[in-house]
A = this chain, B = another copy of it.
């Protein structure tokens, strides 16, 4: 794999050929939190980051920068910082969102399986193969809409991982340790760290994602009324929104 090939070769290596279609890929990219213990090869990372940077941004300013944490001392230290947040966030969330209550107490239920995956993901976050911190160089005052120039790139990144047989998930683990991360990694004070994305080879697999029915998410000329065409295709998998029911929606200690 990439580690054993002279690095400058990659400028002569084309993007990997596609094995997944564009519509199919979007409908089957799951959040992947369980990884096989193997590195992500350099040529895969190259293709993933190439796809990420093809995303649009306001006036094509390309204010996105991606800090890619692989091996090495500094990467390990950054992962340790993030892992500390992951663990305390899960402790809080498992309790607050009632993951152990109701069907969560039934071994093998979807809720119990989700809780186990989350617990293992957070407990061993140091060992995820790759962590990417997508950052944005601000050129205006912070706003909700500035995300329009960084989160499309994050989505491309996750879709590209799917295209190449890998997977990841977008989290907010950096929030409580943003200052420490900026110091450690030399990220400029004015940059916005938009996410913490972990990547690796899935221990499970991708597949159709579950969402609310299309008619609940799409409105026509008036809010609340779905157009007649807003009908899910045959075989669609559904789920209700968000964390387990009865969850308080008050602000958690760190955004998740």
Contacts and interface: CB of A to CB of B under 8 A. Distances in A.
A101 interface: no
Most buried by B among A8, A18, A49, A231: A231
A142 interface: yes
A121 to B, nearest CB: 14
A136 B240 CA distance: 17
B186 A222 contact: yes
A21 B23 contact: no
B51 A160 contact: no
A23 B47 contact: yes
Nearest to A46: B229
Contact of A10 (B15, B185, B231): B231
B148 A170 contact: yes
A26 B25 CA distance: 11
A246 interface: no
A59 to B, nearest CB: 5
A107 interface: no
B59 A243 contact: yes
Interface in A12-61: 12-27, 29, 31, 42-43, 45-47, 49-51, 53-56, 58-61
A247 to B, nearest CB: 9
A: interface residue count bin: 35 or more
A204 interface: no
B160 A155 contact: no
A195 interface: yes
A144 B146 contact: yes
A22 B162 contact: yes
Nearest to A18: B21
Contacts of A143: 144, 255
Interface in A42-93: 42-43, 45-47, 49-51, 53-56, 58-70, 72, 74-75, 78
Interface of A: 2, 7-8, 10-27, 29, 31, 42-43, 45-47, 49-51, 53-56, 58-70, 72, 74-75, 78, 97, 139-148, 150-152, 154-156, 158-160, 162-164, 169-170, 172, 175, 185-188, 192, 194-195, 209-212, 214, 217-224, 227-236, 239, 241-243, 249, 251, 255-256
